Chains A and B, each alone.
Chain A
Amino acid sequence: MIPMEHYLIVSTLMFFIGIYGFITRKNMIAMLISLELVINAVDINFIVFNRYLFPGQLEGMFFTLFSIAITAAETTVALAIIINVYRKIGNVNVGNINKMKN
């Protein structure tokens, strides 16, 4: 049996790699990809806590299931907004988004 901490170390590292990408990227799609990494790390945490600490229950699994579905919905709307931004201002860098308010 693999120690629980090993999974948690992997998910923590993945989480903060995602945070790093979210801070340093300029392209909005690349930022969204970093956000996926963060959400994925949290999903791993839910599953690991469910399996190791409460193996008789299903809460962590259903949280992850709903989290995956909500992430898919969120990504759809975010990409629709990004495509719309591209039509309006011609690129997808976050620095140019303040032009949207005019």
Chain B
Amino acid sequence: MDATINLIIFYALAVVVLSMSVLAVTTKKILRAATYLLFVLIGTAGFYLMLNYHFLAAVQITVYAGGVVVLFIFAIFLVSSKGEVIEPHAKRKVVLGLLASVAGAAVVFFALFKHQFVIDSANTTMIGDQEMNMKVIGQALIGTGKYQYLLPFEILSVLLLACIIGGILIARKR
């Protein structure tokens, strides 16, 4: 029973995510594309929750849905007039893009179904109700040992500082 409910939730999420992705790349209004992207990102957070990465789902919603999408919407307000429609693209380009993505997807699907993944079914951490402990995450993030990530964490903070300065420098009015 539990497995069936999980499967139903997964398929509902998959349908929402995929249809919203298609709409995000085909819609003519740019603001709508940003809104559909928001739904895709929230659906992805749902996938993370289904896989028991609760911290990551929270990060996904705060950083993406709270930060990046708002940034997109403000940029759209700044660069486009009201009700502006994205220029229709050339037919040849659409066909080429469709061809490239279908060919790429075919290659990836071939590799995916050809390969047999070795899943350790004896491992109980993937069965379900085991949540990732926050203490473990925090200690791995601020540790200097093997499989710990203090250096990337600090480099990331420097990168964010550089991005703040660069963003101000590029986008300011002269």
- Residue ranges of A at the interface with B (Cβ–Cβ < 8 Å): 1-2, 4-10, 12-21, 23-27, 29-30, 32-34, 36-37, 40, 43-44, 47-48, 51-53, 55-59, 61-62, 64-66, 68-77, 79-84, 86-87, 92-93
Contact = CB atoms under 8 A, between A and B. Distances in A.
A61 B53 contact: yes
Majority DSSP secondary structure for residues of A touching B = helix
A72 B68 contact: yes
Interface in B41-79: 41, 44, 47-48, 50-53, 55-56, 59-60, 63-64, 67-68, 71-72, 75-76, 78-79
B86 A25 contact: yes
A23 to B, nearest CB: 4
Nearest to B123: A55
Contact of B79 (A13, A73, A82): A82
13 contacts: A1-B3, A1-B128, A2-B50, A10-B47, A24-B97, A25-B86, A40-B41, A40-B44, A53-B119, A62-B141, A65-B56, A75-B71, A76-B167
Interface of B: 3, 6-7, 10, 14, 17-18, 21-22, 24-26, 30, 33-34, 37, 40-41, 44, 47-48, 50-53, 55-56, 59-60, 63-64, 67-68, 71-72, 75-76, 78-80, 86-87, 89, 93-94, 96-98, 100-102, 104-105, 108-109, 112-113, 117-120, 123, 125-128, 132, 136-137, 140-141, 147, 149, 152, 156, 159-160, 163-164, 166-168, 170-171, 173
A18 B25 contact: yes
A79 B123 contact: no
B89 A24 contact: yes
Contacts of A33: 24-25, 33-34, 37, 72
A66 B79 contact: no
Contact of B87 (A8, A26, A64, A87): A26
A1 B167 contact: no
Nearest to A40: B44
A38 B51 CA distance: 20
A6 B14 contact: yes
B56 A1 contact: no
A9 B112 contact: yes
Given A17-B22, A26-B86, A77 B14 contact: no
A13 B140 CA distance: 32
A1 B126 contact: yes
Contacts of B164: 76
